[in-house]
Amino acid sequence: MKIIWLGHGSFRIETKGLVLLLDPWLTGNPILAPEQHEAATEGTTHLILTHAHFDHVADMLPLSRKLGVPVVGQYDLMGHWSEHEGIDTVGFNKGGTVALGDGVTLSMVPASHSSTFGTETGPRTGGTEVGYMLRAEGRTVYLSGDTDIMADMDWMGDYYKPDIGILSAGGHFTMDMKGAAYAAKRYFNFKTVIPCHYGTFPILEQSAQDLIDGLPDVDVIEPQLLQAIEI
């Protein structure tokens, strides 16, 4: 399995012949230059969405149309897009699991955040915020999405037993590095943790050092743009 950071909360995950783009934010992403977009999206088989904020959803519809691949996400928004936007979707809900192919599955779990987008008449809800448990190659990866620490992490860690955590940890909008370290220690038994959603803007944390210091027995890997982390 290869986990490739595309900046902010966006990842490319290559496994079992599949290429999964998690919350791919291309347009306006200050970390990922336009000339890098093709490398980031080449060969994509599925787009995975955690929630409807612009820095996660902005490129979903254009990429689905351009690449001819489905968007996988929360049922309410997927149903709307399927009916009104004419794209392929895989809509399901918290507690559900879908098969992506060749033994790779995705289970939807709760997150604690929000999921709105702006309109001329004010914010509208785009489904609900979620995270995922990705099972592939004998590994389970917790894709936290944007979230704070929450009590649901207790049963999620016990039931799914993820050994890899991709955790939003930039603070202000999500848990920060110290919070992510606390959640990882209290609720999970990760072997590897990859922080994200930090360093993009000045308002976010710029360093993962507090996470590294808080998890001395875990392999905390700070992702580098377009460089594969092989798990």
pTM of the complete model beyond 0.85: yes
In one-letter notation, the amino acid at residue 4 is: I
Q: Which domains does the chain have, with CATH numbers?
A: 2-230 (3.60.15.10)
User: What pLDDT, on a 0 to 100 scale, did the predictor assign at position 117?
Assistant: 83
pLDDT of residue 191: 98
H-only helix segments in the chain = 37-41, 54-57, 60-67, 75-84, 152-160, 177-187, 209-214
Taking a C-beta distance cutoff of 8 angstroms, is the pair 168, 147 a contact? yes
Determine the pLDDT at residue 124: 86
Q: What is the pLDDT along the chain (231 residues), one digit of tens a residue?
A: 999 999 999 999 999 999 999 999 999 999 999 999 999 999 999 999 999 999 999 999 999 999 999 999 999 999 999 999 999 999 999 999 999 999 999 999 999 999 998 888 888 888 899 999 999 999 999 999 999 999 999 999 999 999 999 999 999 999 999 999 999 999 999 999 999 999 999 999 999 999 999 999 999 999 999 999 999
**Distance in angstroms (rounded) separating the CA atoms of residues 170 and 208:** 9
